Amino acid sequence: MKSAIGQCIQLSLFGESHGEAIGVVIQGLPSGILIDQAWMQKQMEKRKPKGKISTQRQEADIPEIVSGVFEGRTTGTPLCILIRNENMRSKDYSKMRNIPRPSHADYTAQVKYQGFQDYRGGGHFSGRITAPLVAAGAIFLQMLKSKGIEVGTHVSQMQEIMDEPLADDEILLRKQLLALEDQYLACIQDSVRDAIQKRIEEAQTQGDSMGGILESAVVGMPAGVGEPFFDSVESKLAHLLFSIGAVKGVEFGDGFDFAAKTGSEANDGFAIKDGQLQTLTNHNGGINGGITNGMPLRIRTAVKPTPSIYKPQSSVNLKTGEAVTLQIEGRHDPAILHRARVVVDSMIALGLVDLLTERFGILWWKGEDACGGD
Amino acid sequence: MKSAIGQCIQLSLFGESHGEAIGVVIQGLPSGILIDQAWMQKQMEKRKPKGKISTQRQEADIPEIVSGVFEGRTTGTPLCILIRNENMRSKDYSKMRNIPRPSHADYTAQVKYQGFQDYRGGGHFSGRITAPLVAAGAIFLQMLKSKGIEVGTHVSQMQEIMDEPLADDEILLRKQLLALEDQYLACIQDSVRDAIQKRIEEAQTQGDSMGGILESAVVGMPAGVGEPFFDSVESKLAHLLFSIGAVKGVEFGDGFDFAAKTGSEANDGFAIKDGQLQTLTNHNGGINGGITNGMPLRIRTAVKPTPSIYKPQSSVNLKTGEAVTLQIEGRHDPAILHRARVVVDSMIALGLVDLLTERFGILWWKGEDACGGD
Amino acid sequence: MKSAIGQCIQLSLFGESHGEAIGVVIQGLPSGILIDQAWMQKQMEKRKPKGKISTQRQEADIPEIVSGVFEGRTTGTPLCILIRNENMRSKDYSKMRNIPRPSHADYTAQVKYQGFQDYRGGGHFSGRITAPLVAAGAIFLQMLKSKGIEVGTHVSQMQEIMDEPLADDEILLRKQLLALEDQYLACIQDSVRDAIQKRIEEAQTQGDSMGGILESAVVGMPAGVGEPFFDSVESKLAHLLFSIGAVKGVEFGDGFDFAAKTGSEANDGFAIKDGQLQTLTNHNGGINGGITNGMPLRIRTAVKPTPSIYKPQSSVNLKTGEAVTLQIEGRHDPAILHRARVVVDSMIALGLVDLLTERFGILWWKGEDACGGD
Amino acid sequence: MKSAIGQCIQLSLFGESHGEAIGVVIQGLPSGILIDQAWMQKQMEKRKPKGKISTQRQEADIPEIVSGVFEGRTTGTPLCILIRNENMRSKDYSKMRNIPRPSHADYTAQVKYQGFQDYRGGGHFSGRITAPLVAAGAIFLQMLKSKGIEVGTHVSQMQEIMDEPLADDEILLRKQLLALEDQYLACIQDSVRDAIQKRIEEAQTQGDSMGGILESAVVGMPAGVGEPFFDSVESKLAHLLFSIGAVKGVEFGDGFDFAAKTGSEANDGFAIKDGQLQTLTNHNGGINGGITNGMPLRIRTAVKPTPSIYKPQSSVNLKTGEAVTLQIEGRHDPAILHRARVVVDSMIALGLVDLLTERFGILWWKGEDACGGD
C-alpha cells in the first residue's frame, strides 16, 4: 500500500528531503489520549544528528500537529503531523542528477518514476522521512506505556564490538530499558558505547561508514495478541522494520541461531511462576505461532552501513551510459544506527498498537483520567 | 488481516489440520493463465512427507480447483483450491487438550481463542495449512516463469554443515536453480545433502529435531518494482515469509553480515554490462530503497527446529495449574526445512506476482497464446 | 478488492453458476459463537426458488462448513462455507456463448476477462453466487440477535403496488420484523403480498419480469457506530448492497424525498424519552454524520427487473458483428425481489457486524454462555 | 478505514473546521502527471461560498502542495495538499458545546468520541473538510480528461423544479458537460437555474434551507472496468458519494424508477453503431454486472437540506438532560447542492481513477509528453 500501512491504526507518510514539508497522517487513534508534546520533542532529539557521528545537516524538526488534537488530547479523528524542511542545500545534488549513488535508491527511483522523482537528497527515499514516524511513534509509545508496555532498543553490535544482550527477566529488563531511554548512542555497557562511538568517528575520518545490529525488547505485552499466518506478530513487525531504508535483516528470539540448535535445545518449556504461566527460556522471543505468549519480545535488526561515503565509487551516467568515478559531496551520516534506534522503537510501537487495538478494541485504550470536555 | 493477505492478488487461507478440508481462495488473478495441474501436483510432492526425515502422516494432497478455472485456464474470477483431510488420528491429541506443547501455538491459541480453537493437530496453526499455499504458489511460479523470472531455494545450512551459496551471475544462477528444481532435500552440493539427510535421521532416532537456514534467489526480476517504505520488496517478502510458522529470521543480501562491513565494503558500484546497467557486486540482494534494481534477489530464511520432539518436556496443565512432564506422541517431522523449501518459493512468488501486478497492471500477464474461448 | 470485502470481518467469495462449487471464506470471526445450522438452513430456504414466481432450477443448497467451526462453535480461525452445484444444464448456454444477453454481464465479462470467463449461466456473475452470502449472513444475523439487534426487509413496492412502511417506533418495528421473518414473499400487508404475487405470475406468463423496492430496517443499534467520511454507515452499507447484482439504487431515511423538503421539515429534533436521548422524527434513518444515533436504521434498495426474459431482444454476435434477435432459453426468475430480501439482510448484517467489531472489539461478541472446551 | 479510502490510489483525509489546517494525502499517483494549479484553483472556486445562496464564511482556500510534485509534475511519491484555516469564529460555537444541533453529527460524535471531539463548527464532520477533496479531485479529473473521459454534474431537481436530464448521446452529452463546466449554480436550463436560485434565497430569508438532487454523467469510459460483487462500479462510486456528509441517496441509470418497469421495458438491447458495440437504450447507466459497458455512466445523488437552519428547534442539554429550544447562530449555507456539485465530480473521478488503475496499471496514465527530467 505504498507509503501507507496499518489495519486499525493507519499511517499515511509523505514528503521529500528537499520539499516544502514532510509529515504523516494517523487514522484510527482512540479519542482522549493525552499528547505529551515535550516528550515527543525528546524523542525527536534522539533521531537528530549530533556530533561527529552524524550528518551536519541541522533541522529544527519541531512537529506541528495540525489536526486531530483538541485541548491537549486526541479527538479520535485523523491526526496530521507536519514538519517543515529548512536546512536544505539542493545545489549539492543537481550535478549528480543522472549519476546514481551506489546502494542508494537513485537508480531504482529513476526506473520506477521514470525521471520524475524529486532526486534532491534522496527525495521520498531519504532517511529524513523517518522524522514524522518518530513523532507518530511518540504517541504510540505513550499509549503502550499507559498499559505498562515498554519498548526499547540498543546498539547491540558493530563489527566485533558487542554489547551485553537485553535480559529475559522482566524486572531486570525494565531497568535496562529505563537506562537506555535517555542515551543518544544507546548501549547497555559504557565501554561498548565508547568503542562504538570511536569506531564511527574513525569511519567518518576515513570518509567511510558503519553498519551494525540493533537489539530491541518489549516487556509487558499481554498473551494472545497477533494472528495466525499473515498477521503474525513477526510478519507485522518485520513488515514495519523492513520499511526503514537501511534495514536488511530481522530476527525474532534466537533467529538465525536456531540453525545451530536441536528442538530439545530450542524449545521453551512452560512453568507457573508467581501464579502465572511463563516459559522457562525465551528462545522464541515471546511469540508462538505468531501470537504473543506473555514473555518479552526479542527482536534484532540488521542495519547496513550508510551508503553515502566520501570514497570514490563506480557509477554510470544514466544519460550517456558512460562509466563515472563518483565522489559524493554534501553532508552525510557515517552511521545511522544510533539515530535509527528510535525509528525502530516507533515502528515496533505502531505494530503493537495496531495489533492490540485489533485484539482489545479501540475503547480499551481509554485511560482512567479520560473524561472528555466539560 | 487475519489469514488473508495481498494488494492486487489476495489470498484467503482456511482450514484446520483435523477438519474437513483446508484450502485457499485467490482473488485478482488475470484471466487466461494456463493451469498446469500436473506441475502443481509435482510441487505438492516436494512438500509431502517422505522417508525417515519427515512425519509418517500420509495425505494424498490432491488440490481440487473448485472455481476460477474454465477449459484449463483462469477465468479471472476467484480461484478456490480445496484439499480434503484424510489421514487423521485425532485421538492422539485429545489427552493433551489442556497441556500445551512447548514452542507450539497451543497455549497462545488457548488464550487468543479462549478455548474454542480446534486443538487437534495444531488446528489452523498446523504446518499442514501450508499445503494450499504450495498449490497456489504453483500458479504464481508459473506466471513468473512465463516472464522469465525463476525462484528457487536450497537448504543452505544446518548446524555447522553449509552448502555452497547461490551465485550472483545470472547464467550460473539459472543453472543452479534448475538443478535444485526436482530435488526433495534440495542442496547444491551432493555431499552436503547427504550430511544433512544423515543429521536429520540422527535427530529422528534420538526423538529430537533440527532447524536450519534456507537460501533463496530470484533471477529475471525487472528493475523498478516495489514501493518506498511500507511496501518495500523486503517488507512485502518478509511479511509473507514470517507468516510461515517456523520462520524466525529473514535477511536480504548480506543481511546480518552488514554489521561487519564498512560502507566502502558493502556498496554495490554500478557498471554497464552487455549494454545493461548492473551492479558490480550484489551485497544488497537486488534491492535498493525497497525497489528491485534488476540484479538477482538474495534472501535467507531461518527455520527453527520442529517443536514436536519425543523427548520429555516441561509443561503445565492449564486446567489445574499443575506442572507436567510432557511426552509428545503422534507422528511428527524431525525437520521441516526440506519440506518448507517449496512453501518459501510459493510465498516469494506470491509477493512478486502481487508487486509486478501493481507495477505493470493485470493485463501485462496475458501471454501471447492467450486468445479466449471460441 | 475484487470479490472480497471487509475491515475487521473479511469475506472472500468464490464460485461460478455451473462450476464445481460456490462458497465463501470468512476471516475475523470471534471464537465461541454458537452456530445454529438449522436456522442457517431456514435462511437458505428464503433464498431458494419456489413456485411460479421463481426459476425452476432446484438446488439442495445445503451449506457445508469445512473449517472454522469445532464442537458447534466458531474457532476464531477462518470459516469456509462450501455449496456444491448440482442441478446444472450447461448445454442451455453453449449456443449463446458469443451472443450477450441484454442487461446481463455477458458482454462486460467478455471485455474484462477477454473471453476466458465461464460464460455458463452467468458464471461468477450469477445470482446463484449470493447463496453463500446468505449462509454467511445467517452467522452475522445471529451475532446481532445476541446483542438485541434485529434486521429485516420486506418487498415495499412493485410498480404502483405499495406496502405499508416499516415503523420508527421500536416496539412496533420489532413486531413487524418478527412477522416478516418466516414469510417467503415478505410483505407487511397480506393484500399487498397477494397483489405482488399475482403481478409476478402475470409477468412470468408473458415471458417478462418485474423489479421493485425493498425496504429494510435495523432496530437496537447502539449510538456511536460508524466513521466520518469514507466509512460512514451509509458508505459501508451502500457498498455492500450495490454489490448485489440487480441493485441500482440505495437510500437512507427519506433518501430522494429529501429533495422535496426544507431543513425545518427534514431535521430530526432531539428529546429525552424513557430516560434516553432520541429523535422526535427519523428522517435521517438513524444516521447522523455517518454515525448511528440509536434510532432504527431505515434503508431502501431498488432492484431492477430480472434481465432474463423470454421475449425476443436485440443483440449482436460478438464473433461476426452481426445483429441478432435473441430468444433466451433456460430456467429464469420472473422476479428476484422476494429471494433478494434475505441477501439484503445478510449484507446489512455483515456491514453492521464489521462496524460493531471495529467499535467495540472482537471480544465484545463473547456471549455469557461462552466458556470454551473442557 | 476511517477517513481513508482507495485500493490503487489511496486518500487519507484530515482536519477540522476550526483547527490549524485541513488537507489530504494521496498515495499511489503515477509519476509525470502535469499539475495545473490554475485549474485546481478554478475547481476550488466552484466549492467556495458565494452570494446569498451560501454561507458568509470566507476562506482563501488556496491548496498548498507540500510534497509529491517536483518541477510541476507528480513525482509518483505521496502528494500532500494542505489548506490553512483562516476565517474562524470559534466563539459562535462554545455555548452550544453540550446542545447537539438536530441532524448534525454533534450528538453522534459526542457518543463516538466521548466528548473529546473538536466540536467547533462540526470539527472533522464539517462540510469544510471536502475542500481538500476538491483539490485532489482536480488532479483526478485532469487525469481522466487526458484519456478523453469527462465527468460532470448539474443540479437536477429541487422540490418540484426539474432541470432537463443529461443526454445519453455521447456528442450531445459532451456539449452539455462543457456548458456546465464554468457555472456556479450549474443547470442545463437557464430558467431552472434562476428558479432554483430564487428558491434558495427564499429559504435563506426564512432562516430555512433546501436540499435537492444532483445528476452526474461520465462519458468516454472504456468497457470492462469494475469488478464483480464487492468492487462493482456502483459499490465503489456509492461508497465515495455516501461519504459526503449530506448525501442520503444514490442511484445508477433508472435507479428507483426500475420499480415501475418490466424487464422488457428496462433491458438495454445491443447493436453495432459506428463499428462499435453499443446499447440501444441506457437504463443501466453504463454498468452491467458491476462493470462498465462503454456507455455513459448516469448517477443521481440525493442531497438533504442543510441541517443548519435559523428556525427554533428541539434539542437537549447533554449535561443536564433538560429539553432546550435551540436557535442556531453563526454563518451557514441555505443550500449546499450547488457547492457539493464539484465534490461529487471529485469523488466520482477518484473512484474511476482507482478502477482504471486497477484495470490498466499505473503506467497506462503516462501521457505522450511525459519524459522526465533532463
Of C125, C251, C272, the CB nearest to D228: C125
CB contact under 8 A, B234 and A248: yes
Distance between CA atoms of residues B353 and B361, nearest Å: 10
Structure confidence by residue, pLDDT tens digits, C301-340: 999 999 989 999 999 999 999 999 999 887 788 999 999 9
Decide if A113 touches D, using CB distance below 8 A.
yes
- β partners of residue D210: C262
Residue C132 has pLDDT above 50, yes or no: yes
In 3-state terms chain A splits into helix, strand, coil percentages (rounded to 5) of 35, 20, 45
Contact (CB, 8 A) for B192 and B162: yes
Contact C267/D238, CB-based, under 8 Å? no
E-strand spans in C39-78? 64-67, 69-70, 73-74
Nearest to B210 among A209, A224, A262 (CB): A262
Write out the CATH class of domain D4-364. alpha beta
Task: Choose among A105, A240, A290: nearest Cβ to B289.
Answer: A105
Which site among C221, C242, C306 would you substitute to test the D interface, given the most D Cβ atoms closer than 10 Å to its Cβ?
Answer: C242
The hierarchical CATH code for the domain C4-365 is: 3.60.150.10
How much is the pLDDT for A369? 42
Q: How far apart, in whole angstroms, are the C-alpha atoms of residue D146 and residue D137?
A: 14
Type of residue numbered C318: L
- Assign D12 to helix, strand or coil: strand
CB contact under 8 A, C291 and D108: yes
CA of B29 vs chain C CAs: smallest distance (Å): 10
Output the DSSP codes for B288-303. ETTEE-SSPEEEEEEE
Q: Is A125 annotated as a binding residue?
A: yes
C366 close contact with A: CB closer than 8 A: no
Q: Which residue type does C316 have? A: V
* Chain A residues in contact with C27 (beta carbon < 8 A): none
User: C360 and A361 in contact by Cβ < 8 A?
Assistant: yes
Residues of D in contact with A80 (CB under 8 A): 14-15, 21, 23
**Closest residue by Cα to residue A345 from A133, A68, A50:** A133
B251 at A interface, C-beta within 8 A = yes
Q: For residue C96, is pLDDT > 80?
A: no
Closest approach of D343 to chain B, Cα-based (Å): 28
DSSP H helices in D182-262? 190-205, 233-241
Please check whether residue C292 is in contact with residue C221, taking contact to mean a CB–CB distance below 8 angstroms: yes
3-state secondary structure of A220: coil
Q: How far is CA A334 from CA A306, A309, A338, D222, in A?
A: 6, 7, 11, 53
Name the minimum distance, in Å, from the CA of C243 to any CA of chain D: 4
Interface of A with B in 49-88 (CB under 8 A): none
Residue of D nearest to B361 (CA): D361
Q: Could you report the per-residue pLDDT of D287-327, keeping only the tens digit for each?
A: 999 999 999 999 999 999 999 899 999 999 999 999 999 99
Using pLDDT thresholds of 50, 70 and 90, give the confidence band for residue A373: very low
8 Å CB contact of A25 and D14: yes
A236 is in an annotated binding site: no
pLDDT-derived band at B235, boundaries 50, 70, 90 = very high
pLDDT band at residue A56 under the 50/70/90 scheme: confident
Contact A213 B305 (CB under 8 A): no
Asked if B13 contacts B21 with a C-beta cutoff of 8 angstroms, the reply is no
3-state DSSP assignment of residue A173: helix
- Asked if B263 and A209 come within 8 Å (Cβ–Cβ), the reply is yes
Give residue-wise pLDDT tens across range B20-43. 999 999 999 999 999 999 999 999
Per-residue HEC secondary structure of chain C comes to: CCCEECCCCEEEEECCCCCCEEEEEEECCCCCCECCHHHHHHHHHHHCCCCCCCCCCCCCCCCEEEECEECCEECCCCEEEEEECCCCCCHHHHCCCCCCCCCCCHHHHHHHHCCCCCCHHHHHHCHHHHHHHHHHHHHHHHHHHCCCCEEEEEEEEECCEECCCCCCCHHHHHHHHHHHHCCCCCCCCHHHHHHHHHHHHHHHHCCCCECEEEEEEEECCCCCCCCCHHHCHHHHHHHHHCCCCCEEEEEECCHHHHHHCEHHHHCCCEEEECCEEEECCCCCCCEECCEECCCCEEEEEEECCCCCCCCCEEEECCCCCCEEEECCCCCCCCCCHHHHHHHHHHHHHHHHHHHHHHHHCHHHHCCCCCCCCC
Element containing residue D314 per DSSP (H, E): strand D313-316
Q: Is there a contact between A77 and C359 if contact means CB atoms under 8 Å apart?
A: no
Average pLDDT of span C212-216: 98
Find which of A12, A84, A243 to mutate to test the D interface (most D CBs within 10 Å of its CB). Answer: A12
Give me the pLDDT at residue D90, please: 61
Q: Which residues of chain D have pLDDT under 70?
A: 1-2, 88-93, 367-374
Q: Closest partner residue to C361 among A7, A228, A364, by Cβ?
A: A364
Residue A71: Cβ within 10 Å count: 10
Of A77, A358, A363, the CB nearest to C360: A363
- Looking at residue A93, what DSSP letter applies? H
Instruction: Decide if C364 and A362 are in contact by the 8 Å CB cutoff.
Output: no
Q: Which among D112, D277, D302 is the nearest to C251, CB-wise?
A: D302
| Average pLDDT of span A61-89 | 93
Here the ipTM equals 0.96
> What pLDDT is stored for residue A329 in this prediction?
79
What distance lies between CA B24 and its chain's CA centroid?
15
Examine the pLDDT at B1 and tell me if it is beyond 70. Answer: no
Q: Check whether D289 is labelled as a binding-site residue.
A: yes
Closest CA to A15 of C6, C341, D77, C235: D77
Question: With contacts defined as CB-CB under 8 Å, which chain C residues touch A364?
Answer: 361
**Closest residue on chain C to B24 (Cα):** C25
The predicted pLDDT at position C374 comes to 38
Q: pLDDT tens digit string along C13-28?
A: 999 999 999 999 999 9
Which C residues 287-346 touch D at CB under 8 Å? 287-293, 300, 302-309, 311, 313-316, 318, 321, 323
CB contact at 8 A, D255 and D300: yes
Q: Would you call A360 and C361 a contact, using CB atoms and an 8 Å cutoff?
A: yes
Return residues 181-210 of D near A (CB < 8 Å): none
Q: Which residues does B87 contact at the CB level (< 8 Å), separation at least 6?
A: B57, B58, B59
Annotated domain spans of chain B: 4-365
In this model, does residue A2 exceed pLDDT 70? no
- Model pTM score: 0.96
Angle between helices A131-145 and A337-360 (to 10 degrees): 50
Whether the CB of A224 is below 8 Å from some CB of chain C: the reply is no
Picking from B192, B208, B242 by the largest number of A CB atoms within 10 A of its own CB, the best residue to mutate is B242
